Amino acid sequence: MSKNITLTMIKPLAVQQGFIGPILAKINENGFRIAAMKLLWLTENQAKQFYVVHKERPFYNDLVKSMSSGPIVAAVLENENAVDEYRKLIGATNPANADAGTIRKLYGTSLEANAVHGSDSDENANIEAEFFFSKLESF
């Protein structure tokens, strides 16, 4: 099976709570290769652009505010079936409904502050990877 990519972000509250290390350890233990990674602080406009698909949703403004409230880690992860395998590893969107041992269950605190983002399709993974990284920054 060929390898493909997914894009993750460690969200601001998880970064503030000191969970970068434990979350990266889970990513490594589960066989993902880190192909690109950076720590950065999104402006409100950049967060709006990233989540533009959700712009009609009632939670859009809250999501944008929360995602631009502090530094995040963005990373491109490579694996076989990366999108689906990573969504299994992170668990359900709401940490309250996520399976035991998943990243959102372990490190998420609410639906909004659910520790990490994971792409929902191969097409979006590529769009999201290009949002954060140039070809020179991906290996």
Only one residue has tokens 């589960």, namely 30
Stated as kind and residue range, the H or E segment containing 106 is helix 103-107
- CA–centroid distance for 14 within its chain: 11
Query: Closer CB to ligand GDP, residue 59 or residue 139?
Result: 59
Query: Closer CB to ligand GDP, residue 99 or residue 137?
Result: 99
Cα(86)–Cα(38) distance, integer angstroms: 19
Cα(16)–Cα(115) distance, integer angstroms: 10
Site size for ligand GDP (CB under 6 A): 9
What residues contact residue 124 under an 8 Å CB cut-off, 6+ apart?
Answer: 7
Query: Closer CB to ligand GDP, residue 41 or residue 59?
Result: 59
Q: How far is the CB of 51 from ligand GDP (least distance, A)?
A: 7
Identify the CA nearest to 7 among candidates 95, 83, 69: 83
Q: How far is the CB of 99 from ligand GDP (least distance, A)?
A: 14
Contacting ligand GDP within 98-137 (CB under 6 A): 111-112, 114, 117, 120
Catalytically annotated residue among 91, 108, 117, 132: 117
Contacting ligand GDP within 59-98 (CB under 6 A): 59, 62-63, 93
Residues within the interface to ligand GDP (CB under 6 A): 59, 62-63, 93, 111-112, 114, 117, 120
**Active site residues per annotation:** 117
